[in-house]
Amino acid sequence: MTQSDTGQWICVQNNEGRWSVWPADVPVPAGWHAEGAPATRETCLAEIEARWSDPRPNALKKVMA
More confident residue, 7 or 55: 7
Q: What is the pLDDT of residue 63?
A: 80
Categorise residue 61: left if φ over 0, alpha if ψ from -120 to 50, beta otherwise.
Answer: alpha
Cite the beta strand spans of 1-65 per DSSP E. 9-14, 19-23, 32-39
pLDDT at 19 over 70: yes
pLDDT band at 2 (very low <50, low <70, confident <90, very high): low
Whether residue 62 is predicted with pLDDT greater than 90 in this model: the reply is no
Kindly state the average pLDDT of the residues 41-48: 96
Q: In what order do the strands lie in the sheet with 9-14?
A: 19-23, 9-14, 32-39
Provide the whole-model pTM: 0.78
